[in-house]
Amino acid sequence: MIVLGVDLAWAEATRSGHANETGVVAATQDGTIVDAGWTVGIEQTLDWIGVNAADDVLAMIDAPLVVDNAKGQRLCEKQVGQRYGRWKVSANTTNLSSPRLGGVALRERLESSGWSYDSGLSGPPSTGRRFSECYPYTCLVGAEELGYDDERPVYKRKPKRMPAAEFRVARAKNCDELLRRLDALSTANPPLRLRSHPTTEALLSTPSPLNDRDYKHREDLIDAAVSAWTGLLWLTHGTTRVQVLGDTSSAAPPTIIAPARPTQR
């Protein structure tokens, strides 16, 4: 199967009236990246997915896809904190009152064009056009290959007491280290070959910027690559390396496909 990693901009538009960028990465099952870049808005993202989809394809989307709870957190989000909290990983709260439900809009459009939402409860898919929800942080601390044994890498959210200027320097350093570790996945099982495509290779050859906008551009592509590798882990190892977070009692429940160490189950 082709695996698509999509780091979706959760809001369909910002206060400026424009959607944020969505990072996108397409990979074959041997880890070769065949396309990578950015889209803006649901329409461009759907177009990119359509261009890179095969008859058998799994899209791993970093965004809430099924939201049916009126208030509070979805169960899969609660379980992220319960099982990965020791590594300082938690999930944002999503419910029907949330203003940022771009993932729901994307799911509805994909389903209307013949794709199937896959909760993961039947194991990894082998045929068809399927899409599932993932969360890159769970992969970073749940995959032993990356070596984040104690806590998540601080490459996104600023610690409360750290000055912004200091954080930007630390963030760039941590991001470069994360990329070094992702580069080493070229020999993992399954591999992820960042150097196989010029856009992802450029992440390795260019230092992480300090400017917030330029950094976010970079971060979106990194998270798309991690989302794609989550899909490759799921297809290769199934439930031996990956767990399904969320409700198991309904046919199409909100779930997160999450790589996990034994202690995170």
CB-based contact 237:73 (threshold 8 Å): no
Q: What is the pLDDT of residue 14?
A: 47
CA distance linking residue 89 with residue 55, whole number of Å = 35
pLDDT in tens, the chain (265 residues): 999 999 999 766 544 445 789 999 999 999 999 999 999 999 999 999 999 999 999 999 999 999 999 999 999 999 999 999 999 999 999 999 999 899 999 999 999 999 999 999 999 999 999 999 999 999 999 999 999 999 999 999 899 999 999 999 999 999 999 999 999 999 999 999 999 999 999 999 999 999 999 999 999 999 999 999 999 999 999 999 999 999 877 778 999 999 999 999 9
The DSSP line for 58-83 is EEEESS------SSS--HHHHHHHHH
31: left (phi over 0), alpha (psi -120 to 50) or beta: left
Which among 21, 255, 264, 35 is positioned nearest to 139, based on CA atoms? 264
The one-letter amino acid at 86: R
Q: Residue 245 pairs with which residues in a beta bridge?
A: 256
CA distance linking residue 147 with residue 137, whole number of Å = 13
Which among 229, 1, 255 is positioned nearest to 136, based on CA atoms? 229
Q: What is the pLDDT of residue 18?
A: 55
**Rg (the chain; Cα; Å):** 17
Q: What is the pLDDT of residue 263?
A: 96
CA distance linking residue 103 with residue 112, whole number of Å = 14
Nearest-5° Cα angle at 239, 221 to 124: 65
Which among 100, 142, 113 is positioned nearest to 53, based on CA atoms? 113
Q: What is the pLDDT of residue 251?
A: 74
Q: Is 22 helix (H, G, I), strand (E, B) or coil?
A: strand
Chain center to CA of 255:
13
DSSP 3-state percent helix, strand, coil across the chain (nearest 5) = 45, 15, 40
Give the other-Cβ count within 10 Å of 58's Cβ.
26
